Chain A
Amino acid sequence: MESNGDDAARIVAELETLKSAKSDIDSRIRALEAQLRDLKLQKPPVSANGSCHSGGSAGGSAPAHGLSSDMIYRYSRHLLLSSFGVQGQSKLVKSSILVVGAGGLGAPALMYLAASGVGRLGIVDHDVVELNNMHRQVIHTEAFIGQPKVKSAAAACRSINSSIQVVEHQEALRTSNAIEIMSQYDIVVDATDNAPSRYMISDCCVVLGKPLVSGAALGLEGQLTVYNYNGGPCYRCLFPTPPPATACQRCSDNGVLGVVPGIVGCLQALEAIKIASAIGEPLSGRMLLLDALSARVRIVKIRGRSIHCEVCGENTTFTKEQFKNFDYENFTQSPLSAAPLKLNLLSEESRISSSEFKEKVTKGEPYVLIDVRPGHHFKIVSLPNAMNIPLSTLEGRLPEISSALKEEEHRRSSESSESPIVGLYVMCRRGNDSQRAVQLLQSMGFPSAKDIVGGLEGWAREVDPDLPTY
């Protein structure tokens, strides 16, 4: 056993050394590649080749499209498209696109935009890569878990195409930095995951006059459209009033099938490429709705620019100053980052920490534990002896709680002479729904109901780190 432990320690140490050496080599490679790019840029395009697949113009004059022979070979399948061709590719190579969010939508969008040869590709994100991102955020690899998404995504883009410029903006997009960042690009791709960011990015695009490729995905559905393009509507023309915060579901609560944002992100890349290269008909004034479950895609006609729009309307002037001072979190009543809500509905005596609850269980005190998560959550993981009564069904299932309490009391009183007091505890995933449930229970004749603070996540943090979290 001991030598096993020694072996493991040796392997871990060697891995660390190798990884650090690899990272040094990677950054050296990137520096050299950048140097080489700069050198190539200083020479006229075609004469800079030296490779065996030059376009056949060696010795002749440089072509007017400005594509080097490496570019001609790399993008040859684009150039062979009569509707895209050298015109499309040279426009793309000269374009700049900003992708806000390197998550489920941003991942495929960034990979295709990098591969297609967008001249300058910006990435904004403040998050780090986590294991539960991997099923959909396919740009990130396991080696980057714990590292900033921007770093991971930029490394992936560079490894796909070292001939483009990838710009890292490792920060959250806010009204204080949005104008400065977004003004450096021709086109913006909204690949974020929350309502206030969507309003903020759209407003900033109006202020700066940039087209916006907007995508969203949740569960098994996706939506896509292009805003503020060629006289078309902006996000606020369509949604002048923000939805109630309770209507804004998040992937971390409601789940999302990984490939769904993947499809929408690919379509976002497509629309951005069409705008950058000036081909086809961008999806402006129309919206694509994807229902993955029934394999249906519908493209619907949406309203045009609203003359009454508070941001892009005819008689409105929404200035940069107004933008900078606008409170998007207050406007939408939801936070810019997708951090989970933390309610505090109950008094101290109606709450119990997971370690206190654990103590009671260990001491053998009688209790009934109600888990109010939806059934499909309960199937993932639950505590022993927990009864699953989802919050939505709680009101109709109170008799079950009464009989569980009686049963436990009966069982215990047969074991000892004293009549026991059976505790009633409620838990959920994070400790919000359990508070709502306790409020309901206390008003319906269960005054002693207590909520377990922090839910299963709290239990995993305080009591049992081996409990799976999701």
Chain B
Amino acid sequence: MHITLEFGGGLELLCDSVKIHNVDVELKKGLEKLTMKDLLAWVRTNLIKERPEMFMKGDTVRPGVLVLVNDCDWELSGQLETTLQEKDVVVFISTLHGG
């Protein structure tokens, strides 16, 4: 399944400073849908190159990271249970505090 992933607010530093990743995520055998929970595990294994604790805590993102599925807060689509579709855009953005 083709998904576009974007990292911002400093999270891109965890994946070789590349902000946009066009990826192809294989569905697990026997499964017909890809959830955000599956995608997070995939991202952690395949894209995060350093300090995974700056991206995840437990099986979800760490506090202070906003997850947007097609420009919409994942709280509104079911968080980890959100089902992804072909060509979805998922953004991970760390909240900024500077000024």
Name A residues whose Cβ lies closer than 8 Å to a Cβ of B: 101, 103-106, 191-195, 198, 215-219, 221-223, 238-244, 246-251, 254, 256, 261, 287, 289, 291, 294, 298-303
Contacts and interface: CB of A to CB of B under 8 A. Distances in A.
Contact of A241 (B9, B63, B99): B63
A244 B97 contact: no
Interface in B82-99: 91, 93-99
Nearest to A106: B99
A243 B99 contact: no
Contacts of A248: 97
Interface string B66-88: 10100111011000000000000
B62 A251 contact: no
A221 B9 contact: yes
Nearest to B11: A247
B10 interface: yes
A300 B54 contact: no
Contacts of B10: 218-219, 247, 249, 254
Nearest to B95: A239
Contact of A223 (B73, B75, B96): B96
Contact of A221 (B63, B66, B96): B96
Contacts of A106: 99
Given A243-B64, A244-B63, A222 B96 contact: yes
B76 A247 contact: no
A124 B71 CA distance: 34
Contacts of B52: none
A21 B71 CA distance: 57
A240 B8 CA distance: 20
B64 A256 contact: no
Given A238-B66, A242-B64, A249 B98 contact: yes
Nearest to B72: A301
Nearest to A216: B96
A396 B99 CA distance: 35
Interface in B1-60: 8-10, 19, 53-54
Contacts of B76: 301, 303
Given A241-B63, A244-B62, 6 more contacts: A219-B10, A221-B8, A242-B63, A243-B64, A247-B10, A302-B73
